[in-house]
């Protein structure tokens, strides 16, 4: 027999290659028995591949509902006030963004402008319009029929939405809206009447 010098496997006398490891046996001499000084062959162990856990860079999904802090009712995320007790609902925090790319579709977010007379302001998601709003509040100064925070804006599912927050009536393109219920803004100019004394345009590019 031939004993493989690499793995100590016993092979037939005429073997050229080791039956276990494939080593070259052409120069290995034939022996009648295994020498006592050669250690017995040992089984080769296969090292298990190491699994490395990579943390995801995807931000956690936002909650689909808003819980009312007063009565505990679960409300859809687009509502600004509770459907049961009309309590104002907390905003859902979103990760900061420095681009205008929608996280939902991967497409560039459409721009929205508030147009009052000859002036134009670019709006951002979560902006509020009114006498104490987050954009163009000077345009509503002195108009007491416009609430301090009359409507809120949001960008969801690739489209702009507005939600009436005020108890004063609000109209979109001639249709009276329901307080706390979000409605989509169409591409182009959307006429928004905040009161009999105030009409503005929300223009989606």
Note the pLDDT of residue 181: 94
Note the pLDDT of residue 11: 81
Q: Where are the domains of the chain?
A: 1-40, 64-90, 110-205
Q: Which CATH class is domain 110-205?
A: mainly beta
What contacts 24+ positions apart, CB below 8 Å, involve 49-55? Answer: none
Note the pLDDT of residue 100: 52
At 74-90, the pLDDT tens digits run: 877 767 777 777 787 77
- The answer to whether the predicted template modeling score (pTM) of the entire model surpasses 0.85 is no
Sign of the torsion formed by the C-alpha atoms of 10, 11, 16 and 18: negative
Q: How are beta strands 112-116 and 74-76 bridged, if at all?
A: unpaired
At 7-42, the pLDDT tens digits run: 888 888 888 888 787 788 888 888 887 776 545 545
**Is residue 130 within 8 Å of residue 140, measured between CB atoms?**
yes
Quote the mean pLDDT of the chain. Answer: 80
């Amino acid at each position: 027999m031939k004993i493989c010098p690499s793995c100590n496997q016993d092979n037939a006398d005429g073997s050229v290659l080791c039956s276990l490891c494939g080593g070259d046996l052409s120069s290995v001499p034939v022996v009648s028995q295994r020498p006592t000084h050669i250690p017995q062959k040992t089984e080769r162990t296969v090292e298990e591949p190491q699994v490395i856990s990579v943390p995801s860079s995807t931000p956690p999904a936002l909650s689909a509902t808003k819980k009312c802090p007063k009565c505990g009712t679960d409300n859809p995320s687009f509502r600004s006030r509770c459907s049961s007790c009309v309590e104002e609902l907390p905003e859902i925090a979103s990760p900061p963004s420095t681009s205008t790319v929608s996280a939902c579709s991967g497409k560039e977010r459409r721009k929205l402008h508030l147009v009052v007379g000859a002036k134009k302001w670019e709006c951002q998601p979560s902006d509020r319009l009114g006498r104490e709003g987050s954009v163009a509040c000077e345009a509503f100064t002195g108009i007491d029929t416009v609430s301090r925070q009359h409507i809120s804006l949001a960008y969801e599912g690739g489209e702009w939405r507005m939600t009436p927050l005020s108890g004063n009536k609000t109209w979109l393109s001639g249709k009276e809206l329901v307080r706390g219920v979000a409605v989509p803004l169409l591409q182009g100019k959307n006429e928004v009447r905040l009161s009999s004394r105030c009409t503005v345009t929300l223009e989606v590019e």
